Amino acid sequence: MATQYAFQGTSAREIAASVERAVTEGGLGPGAALPPVRRLAEDLGVSPGTVATAYKELRGRGIVVTRGRGGTVVAPTPAVGSRRPPKVPAGIRDLAGGHPDPAFLPVLTPPAEVLPARGSHRGNPRLPALEELSRAWFARDGVPSAHVSFAHGALDCVARLLSVELRPGDAVAVEDPGFHHLLDLVPALGLRMLPVAVDDEGMRPGELGRALRAGARAVLCSPRAQSPRGARFTAGRRAELLAVLAGFPEVLVVEDDHNADIAGVALHSLTTGALPRWAQVRTASKHLGIDLRWAALACDATTLARHDGRMLLTSGWVSHVLQETAAGLLADPATHALVAEGSAAYARRRLALTGALGRHGITAYGESGLNVWVPVRDESAVVNGLRTHGWWVAAGTRFRIEGPPAVRITSATLDEADAPRLAADFAAVLGESEATYGG
């Protein structure tokens, strides 16, 4: 049923702005239906083409989606500035955020002195010391490191890569379930998502092939610690995916190895498969701290030139203060020891939770990384039920496109001793909501 919100405007731009304002201010929530084109045209006294153009602009900017006979509705995660993560209620244990344990994060120590720059750093955007450390970081896992660059975090880097390679309306193959910020980012850039199902070994080759044949011009994937499912590429799966990609040499393959140092498993990267167009992004936020807004990029020469050319015209460079700080941490043996301790703890905690859930007959996935993915039949019933037991977990709807329902639990901040209690509460919630859950 169409919403009764009063839209305004006589031009496509004015109508689109009216809809966007309604979404931003909360008058239209995710899933709210917009009026059919002809009805709104009659209400506003404009041509159907004007309204259709407004809706097209809104789709291109990720604010609405069209569902065939279901009409045009506000996107599940509309790309408007007012969106923020929900606040965790007081007294509830937060296991929803996907964040690392602060106990395993180093204290950030910016350089004591930063010499004034002569003009800008556009001519020399990367500190040589950090560039060499970044090359060694990639080379450690076999990723080709001849061409590296920096960005302000993984999402900043991926957004720039996609924006210089693709045009609005182009398609991108994405993981389903996948990282919710990437699933928000792609439509916000005006791009179409082609979901590719994920199992414990990552993207399924057959489904990737279908997405590529359907016109995907880029592939976004996580080689390990995939969020939310925790999947990781095995050697066999890597070979299968490379065989599929061999038939599409023009496609840009972007690996998001955001948990490189704390994934808990070895890397089997597509970037080592002689792909013509490829990139791997690594961020420091998960193992060195969220305030270190720095990511490293390794890629082919063409991708490097396009990325850096666009960066030169926008932010220009990553702050040399951040670069000095990152270089100090990457070269610090004590930091390496702390990160390794955290990686081992995250593996133990992840296994403790999946094991505890398994003893209650509850299937859970988490081969690597910081999270555990638990399939359910009713996400709301489970999320709300666990809240009454003092646990705050994430509903899976924000991470999936076509995949079945589930919840994501951040195991990184859950002590091993607490896993049995959470698992028991989870089982109790399933029993309490049996009618809804369908047990």
Taking the alpha carbons at both ends of the chain, their separation in whole angstroms is 32
How far apart are alpha carbons 427 and 4 in whole angstroms?
Answer: 42
DSSP classification of residue 435: H
Confidence at residue 433, expressed as pLDDT on a 0 to 100 scale: 67
Confidence at residue 28, expressed as pLDDT on a 0 to 100 scale: 87
Phi first, then psi: give them for residue 262, nearest 5 degrees: -130, 20
Share of the chain above pLDDT 70, in %: 95
Confidence at residue 9, expressed as pLDDT on a 0 to 100 scale: 93
pLDDT tens-digit profile of 276-333? 999 999 999 999 999 999 999 999 999 999 999 999 999 999 999 999 999 999 999 9
Are 253 and 275 in contact by the 8 Å Cβ rule? The answer is: yes
Average pLDDT over residues 382-388: 96
Higher-pLDDT residue of 76, 160: 160
What's this model's pTM, rounded to 2 decimal places? Answer: 0.85
Are 96 and 372 in contact by the 8 Å Cβ rule? The answer is: no
How far apart are alpha carbons 87 and 95 in whole angstroms?
Answer: 12
Q: What angle do CA 92, 183, 197 make, to 5 degrees?
A: 100
Q: In Å, what is the CA distance from 356 to each residue of 83, 224, 360, 377, 381?
A: 35, 23, 7, 20, 21
pLDDT tens-digit profile of 172-215? 999 999 999 999 899 889 899 999 999 999 999 999 999 999 99
Average pLDDT over residues 74-81: 72
Share of the chain above pLDDT 90, in %: 79
